[in-house]
Structure 1
């Protein structure tokens, strides 16, 4: 859309492959997770134009996208990547510790299934 009229925000998010479906894009905007030029919006029909900056909070990350162009279709990922410029800062490795090893905690499955005695002991422990 080179004429500068704009495009609905939910449609643009779908065309740019930020979300998988247009209905998910509508829900994302209505939840307040999208800002257009630093202004929070809950209206999925709000128009965006080239040079607008979107701040999208999705999947516990914040993406800052500068709109280059409004799309005409949901094409391949290479075509969608041309619709915006990603201004997001690189992920912060200091939160986990850059040199930290992955955590060793959590569930590790046993090498063999429990025998009858171990199963009964587990049931007694579990149910009292």
Structure 2
């Protein structure tokens, strides 16, 4: 896990989606938010500057279906897939 994880108490939703490897780029994350496909704790996100905190539940509508994700931590940059797994818990019911 990245040593930067846990230093921040909040992070912008677009950065978190990218660093947690939910989407490939931060621009893709911003597009999802602007299109209304992202919710934080059940409330639609109005803009990319919305911050998320550990424990928040993120709902993201992706092509392969909606995903429910719990924020576990943050990273200073987009790291490896192993590092990304430490940032998110997928609680989507399958």
Q: What corresponds to 1:35 in structure 2?
A: 39
Counterpart in the other structure of 1:62: 66
TM-score (structure 2 length as normaliser): 0.89
The structure in which a higher percent of residues are strand is: 2
The answer to whether the 8 A contact 2:54-2:72 is kept is yes
What are structure 1's unaligned runs of at least 5 residues?
91-128
Q: TM-score, normalised by structure 1?
A: 0.66
Aligned equivalent of 1:117: none
Which fold has the larger relative contact order, with Cα–Cα distance below 8 Å and residues 6 or more apart in sequence? 2
Structure with the greater alpha carbon radius of gyration: 1
Superposition RMSD on alpha carbons, in Å? 1.1
* Structure 2: runs of 5+ lacking an equivalent: 1-5
